[in-house]
Amino acid sequence: MRLHTLKNVPGAVHRKKRVGCGEGGGHGKTSTRGGKGQSARSGSSIRPGFEGGQMPLYRKLPHRGFNNYEYRTSYAVINVGDLARLDAAISEVNAEVLAKAGLVRPGIKTLKILGDGEISRALKVTAQKFTGSAKAKLEKAGGQAITA
């Protein structure tokens, strides 16, 4: 099999629908718009959900509840094991240091430290939140977990 010998399966390729090209084109006269009426006119568009003046379904159904999406606080998460891989010269860790190391995106304000992984050196870590296991591992290694 070679690329120049490949062919489509019969029926896979359809000809383009050419509307308004007369009766012989197969889409003549009304050009697939049906007969008369609002949707047959040029420039007409009926917004989604419009039911011709009848009360639309989206207004009939009850809207209940609260969605916290736009008010949520999102945290950049870092594991203790990731902190252990930082340069040995670093003793104090915060969001700026992690951004320079490429572990979080630059401009991150809220940071949460998770307890996955092991750490053996003392680090002074400043973040907005710590899990219990992360705090315990940092303090066991002789470091500090400072909540900003």
User: Number of folded domains in the chain?
Assistant: 1
Residue 38 in contact with residue 74, Cβ under 8 Å?
A: no
Q: How many CB atoms lie within 10 A of CB 125?
A: 24
Residue 103 maps to a domain: yes
- Using CA atoms, how far apart are residues 4 and 134, in angstroms rounded to an integer? 60
Residue 8 maps to a domain: no
* Class of residue 93 by CB neighbours under 10 A (exposed 0-12, middle 13-18, buried 19+): buried
Global model pTM greater than 0.75:
no
- Using CA atoms, how far apart are residues 115 and 145, in angstroms rounded to an integer? 12
- Using CA atoms, how far apart are residues 7 and 39, in angstroms rounded to an integer? 40
- Using CA atoms, how far apart are residues 119 and 138, in angstroms rounded to an integer? 7
Domain that holds residue 123: 73-147
pLDDT the model gives residue 15: 86
- Using CA atoms, how far apart are residues 83 and 130, in angstroms rounded to an integer? 13
- Using CA atoms, how far apart are residues 26 and 31, in angstroms rounded to an integer? 9
Residue 59 maps to a domain: no
pLDDT the model gives residue 100: 94
Residue 44 maps to a domain: no
Q: Any idea which residue has 């500090």 for tokens?
A: 144
pLDDT the model gives residue 1: 86
Residue 122 maps to a domain: yes
CATH code, domain carrying 93? 3.100.10.10
Residue 86 maps to a domain: yes
Which backbone phi and psi does 76 adopt, to 5 degrees? -80, 125
Render each residue's pLDDT in the chain as its tens digit; 148 residues.
899 999 999 999 998 888 888 888 888 888 889 999 988 999 989 999 999 999 999 999 998 999 999 999 999 999 999 999 999 999 999 999 999 999 999 998 899 999 999 999 999 999 999 999 999 999 999 999 999 8
Residue 19 maps to a domain: no
Residue 45 maps to a domain: no
